Amino acid sequence: MSFQTGEVNGMKRLSEDVVNRMKETSQLKGDKRPSSFPSPSSYGTASSPQAAKGKPKCTTGIHPPTTSSSGQKPSEAEEELYKRYEQEQALVQEELLRLAKREREAGSECLNTTLQREKNSTNEERQKATRMAPLPRAGGGSVPWFLTTTCPALTVRALRRYKICNRIRAAICRNGPRI
């Protein structure tokens, strides 16, 4: 089976030889297509003024029922079918819009999650770099050695001991050694 692109509205349709073969087989079987349905070869042809402008109203080749060349008005069933078709097309368009909106939201949510993860990673790297920065040597600076440790619990314990030791040393120096 081969397809070709319609010149007017860019839709795919069966090539003419395939359509002719289909017509021949349907005529051989005695199966005639009802006149209310368009033939497959009429899909993609410009029959409305909107399609002639290059802006077709619908891309499926289904057009609103109008008076035919013989002057007959379309039946109520045809009009009802066309109204139902338009309603279903509107529902499909709404669903497509909802799906597109959901996809955009999911994409932005994924992007936000990725950005947050990247931000956290950057913060962790910055903190790690500050912890791993060269520490001052013990006794070489004005900061006591125990304040340069990376573990806060050890720093607190060492600071308490330092204060206690300094108080004891100050008391010994003030009062003199007791023997």
Q: What are phi and psi of 4, to 5 degrees?
A: -140, 160
- Please say if the pLDDT value at position 169 is more than 60: yes
| Count of CA atoms in the C-beta half-sphere (13 A) of 122 | 6
pLDDT over 70, % of the chain:
42
pLDDT over 90, % of the chain:
17
The secondary element (H helix, E strand) that includes residue 94 is helix 76-132
Torsion of CA 86, 87, 93, 99, to 10 degrees: -160
Residue range 103-153, pLDDT digits in tens: 999 888 888 888 899 999 999 988 888 887 765 555 455 555 555 555 666
Q: How confident is the model at residue 17 (pLDDT cuts 50, 70, 90)?
A: confident
Distance of CA 66 to the CA centre of its chain: 42
- Please say if the pLDDT value at position 37 is more than 80: no
Higher pLDDT, 169 or 106: 106
Higher pLDDT, 54 or 98: 98
Give the CA radius of gyration of the chain. 42
